[in-house]
Amino acid sequence: MGVGCSRCVSLSTPINLTSTPTPTPTPTSTLSCTPSTPFLFFTHKPQFPPKNLTKSPSLRRLKCGQFLAKQTLTLDDDVNDDTTTSPLASVSPDLLQQIVYDALVWSSLNGLVVGGKSVQKSGTVPGVGMVHAPFSLLPVNFPESHWRQACELAPIFNDLVDRVSLDGKFLQEALARTKKVDAFTRRLLEIHSKMLEMNKKEELVLGLHRSDYMLDERTKNLLQIELNTISSSFAGLSCVVSELHRTLLNQYGKYVELDFNRVPQNTAVTEFAKALAQAWKEYSNSRAVVMIVVQSEEHNITIRRTLAEIDSEGQLLPDGTLLVDGCAVAVIYFRAGYAPNDYPSESEWRARLLMEQSSAVKCPSISYHLTGTKKIQQELAKPNILERFLENKDDIAKLRKCFAGLWSLDDSNIVKEAIKRPELFVLKPQREGGGNNIYGNDVREILMKLQKEDSEELNAYILMQRIFPVVSSALLVREGISHQEETISELGIYGAYLRNKDKVIMNDHCGYLVRTKVSSSNEGGVAAGFAVLDSIYVTD
């Protein structure tokens, strides 16, 4: 019997708080592979339908391109009855008030909640300081052809990540100049280099990825923003917000003329869980555990260890087994470890090296982590580089079609162009988590400063074509208050990949994430406070 852990954790079954029969939706095979039934729920305040409410031309379908003036609403405010100036001129004010209220009630009952950062004990005491996650009241329109394209790309990107990760020489050479000016990347490469020196082979490989896209209004093309190979967040909440929208449209769709079947069912959380469970199974130690590496104040409730705790409690056995607090670890999922702030001391770096040396399935391994860096994304966009890793010409063409312009700063011509027209570019450092990209005149100023100083720091950045997505109107709900805004949206497609030696066990797309933000905002992270969670409404 292998080394294991005698402790066990039971997962309780969610309780349906409604006693009303659940309506069965019409199957929509074009949008999803699995059936799902939205909840039908009822609230007590305010009463619905509002008095004298009837379906009329004033309740016509919301148009994404329609301009709606900015306004803030609270549940206690009177909604403007003047439909010519109302932020939702096409929807009855009473109906809007009801939908917002019911959305907030549903969020509380169905787990669309996060830890509130303003509450002192939130993130350290489970269940304390929970607030609803920020969300868009209705889903955003998205063309079905581009939805299908994004889903089709996921397994190709999964395969590409795996193949690039196996080419240690490529990773080291591509990031050689970056590591001279980026201490964080240098430390990751040092761990990777030690694995190469040990000839460490990862027989079991797990990748839980998310590829992010925007639909460019100018070219009408779906363009990739980035590929995430570590801590691909919001798989859980994205599923819940999709069900929120399906539920709202199931109940109110006849008034806003939207069909809940056009909101794709979201399987991200179940598919990610399935991938983790299958990786655990492939590890072949029934007493081993799955460990999630988290930050010190984690706003998701998990069975967790910080990097420092792993350094303190971790032990590597001669056969490669990793023990943490006496438990053998089969799978390690990194919810932290992607940013310099996650490594405040040498203790965290020792923990990262310890885990990498072990036989546990790392999600991601150090090579997968490096493959997801922005510099590698830029390198893969160069001519003839994809051919180094992929043989299928159709797959290569599909990937290239979604690539936005990406350039290294050793290209003097593109740097001159960016200084001349900075509004057409985004300057990206090698950082994850939102809030790091540089836009507008700041692009010009930083490039000119680094050029004047003849600084090697140029190697810490890449230039990317700026994408100009469609602007639409949306009602954004945060902390119980709704704001009508002009917004842009970003679609993320999750992918899961599991390989045991030469056998590919899982390679597929598995759900999606939509983040919607005010169009004037450059950054887009939900956790960073720039965006809200959303879902898509598939259009012809």
The response to whether 434 counts as a known ligand-binding position is yes
Task: Tell me which residue of 152, 169, 213, 135 sits closest to 480, measured CA to CA.
Answer: 135
Query: Are 154 and 211 a contacting pair, CB within 8 Å?
Result: yes
The response to whether 423 counts as a known ligand-binding position is no
The response to whether 261 counts as a known ligand-binding position is no
The response to whether 2 counts as a known ligand-binding position is no
Exactly one of 433, 440, 525, 529 is catalytic; which is it? Answer: 433
Exactly one of 262, 305, 362, 515 is catalytic; which is it? Answer: 515
Structure tokens at 98: 């009801």
Does 515 qualify as catalytic in the annotation? yes
Exactly one of 179, 210, 246, 305 is catalytic; which is it? Answer: 210
Does 173 qualify as catalytic in the annotation? no
The response to whether 278 counts as a known ligand-binding position is yes
Does 233 qualify as catalytic in the annotation? yes
Number of neighbouring beta carbons within 10 Å of residue 424: 14
d(CA 477, CA 474): 10
The response to whether 433 counts as a known ligand-binding position is yes
Does 246 qualify as catalytic in the annotation? no
d(CA 474, CA 535): 12
The response to whether 228 counts as a known ligand-binding position is yes
Exactly one of 165, 202, 226, 472 is catalytic; which is it? Answer: 226
The response to whether 429 counts as a known ligand-binding position is yes
The response to whether 214 counts as a known ligand-binding position is no
The response to whether 467 counts as a known ligand-binding position is yes
Alpha helix (H) residue ranges in 346-426: 346-357, 366-371, 374-380, 393-402, 412-420
Backbone angles phi, psi at 305, to 5 degrees: -145, 140
The Cα angle at residue 375 between residues 412 and 429, in degrees rounded to 5: 80
Does 433 qualify as catalytic in the annotation? yes
Q: Which residue has the tokens 């009630």?
A: 105
Q: Which residue has the tokens 């949008």?
A: 31
Exactly one of 86, 158, 233, 242 is catalytic; which is it? Answer: 233
Does 388 qualify as catalytic in the annotation? no
Task: Tell me which residue of 166, 167, 153 sits closest to 227, measured CA to CA.
Answer: 153
The response to whether 464 counts as a known ligand-binding position is yes
Cis peptide bond prior to 35, omega within 30° of 0: no
Structure tokens at 161: 């990540």
Q: Which long-range contacts (CB under 8 A, 24 or more apart) does 52-55 make?
A: 53/92, 53/94, 53/95, 53/255, 55/254, 55/255
Which residues in 382-408 are b (16+ Cβ under 10 Å) and which e? eeebbeebbeeeebbeebeebbbebbb
The response to whether 253 counts as a known ligand-binding position is no
The response to whether 428 counts as a known ligand-binding position is yes
Burial of 366 (0-12, 13-18, 19+ CB in 10 A): buried
Helix (H) or strand (E) holding 187: helix 183-197
Q: Which residue has the tokens 């349906």?
A: 16
The response to whether 480 counts as a known ligand-binding position is no
Exactly one of 136, 228, 266, 482 is catalytic; which is it? Answer: 228
Exactly one of 282, 348, 432, 485 is catalytic; which is it? Answer: 432
Does 200 qualify as catalytic in the annotation? no
d(CA 377, CA 383): 13
The response to whether 172 counts as a known ligand-binding position is no
The response to whether 374 counts as a known ligand-binding position is yes
Cis peptide bond prior to 57, omega within 30° of 0: no
The response to whether 226 counts as a known ligand-binding position is yes
The response to whether 439 counts as a known ligand-binding position is yes
Task: Tell me which residue of 371, 358, 260, 375 sits closest to 317, measured CA to CA.
Answer: 358
Exactly one of 374, 375, 444, 499 is catalytic; which is it? Answer: 374
Number of neighbouring beta carbons within 10 Å of residue 198: 10
Does 261 qualify as catalytic in the annotation? no
d(CA 277, CA 291): 12
d(CA 338, CA 348): 12
Does 193 qualify as catalytic in the annotation? no
- Residue set of the binding site: 210, 226, 228, 278, 374, 428-437, 439, 464-467, 490, 515, 517, 523
Tell me which residues are annotated as active site: 210, 226, 228, 233, 374, 428, 432-433, 515
- Residue set of the binding site for ATP: 226, 374, 428-437, 439, 464-467, 490, 517, 523
- Residue set of the binding site for Mg(2+): 226, 228, 432
